[in-house]
Amino acid sequence: MEQYYQGLLGYLTIKLRDRNLAADVAHDAYLKVLESPRLDTLEYPKAFLYRTAINLCVDAFRRGVVRNSESLVDITAEESPQTQSPHATLYQLQRAELVMAALDELSDKCRQAFLLRKLDGLCHDEIAEVMGISKAMVEKHIVNAMKHCRVRVSEMERLSPS
């Protein structure tokens, strides 16, 4: 999937006329696609990725706001903790622990780039400056981290007793 990143980023930059917003949408699209249970059976993953990104753009424009990054703890849930059942809250906590375990398996630079983006909300240019690496390397680290977390969380969920 990561072979489509630069093309998607270029496409979104042209459509949105904002490279930082395009990078945010691209990352959100990658996250949604990598979290999709259909990922392994997709006949046209590139088309699915682009369609997901376009849908995210439409949603953002309809709301009239730019979509904020999702936290690690709340990667999949949209509702507030007060309205969730104890079972749902426990599931989210367990999932957050799985994500943190997956992040611990990453190289220091990969983990740092991901956390600077997702927790601190820095844009790629800012992360590149903070880390002293190229913007392209930042993008690669973040995509690799998302992919690794998705794979590891899926593996760990399959192995854990229900």
CATH of the domain spanning 73-162, picked from 1.10.10.10, 3.20.20.100, 1.10.533.10, 1.10.530.10: 1.10.10.10
pLDDT tens across 33-75, in order?
A: 888 877 778 788 888 888 888 888 877 777 664 444 444 444 4
Instruction: Tabulate helix, strand, coil % of the chain (nearest 5).
Output: 75, 0, 25
Of 7-11, 104-108, 152-156, the range with the highest mean pLDDT is 104-108
Amino acid 71: pLDDT:
45
Residue 47 near residue 58 (C-beta atoms within 8 A): no
- CA-CA-CA-CA dihedral for 39, 41, 46, 50, to nearest 10: -60
Phi, psi values for residue 124, rounded to 5°: -60, -40
Is 60 exceeded by the pLDDT of residue 94? yes
- Residues 6+ away with beta carbon under 8 Å from 125: 20, 135
Is 90 exceeded by the pLDDT of residue 107? yes
Single out the residue of 51, 45, 11, 2 nearest to residue 29, CA to CA: 51
pTM, two decimals, is 0.51
Listing DSSP states for 129-152 in one string gives HHHTS-HHHHHHHHHHHHHHHHHH
Whole-number average pLDDT of the chain: 77
Confidence grade of residue 146 (pLDDT, cut at 50, 70, 90): confident
DSSP 42: -
Q: Give residue limits of the domains in the chain.
A: 1-68, 73-162
Amino acid 160: pLDDT:
64
> Would you state the structure tokens that stand for residue 94, as one six-digit string?
């367990």
- CA-CA-CA-CA dihedral for 36, 40, 43, 46, to nearest 10: 60
Amino acid 141: pLDDT:
92
Dihedral over Cα of 135, 141, 147, 150: its sign = negative
Single out the residue of 22, 25, 29 nearest to residue 1, CA to CA: 29
pLDDT tens across 14-25, in order?
A: 777 778 888 888
Amino acid 77: pLDDT:
43
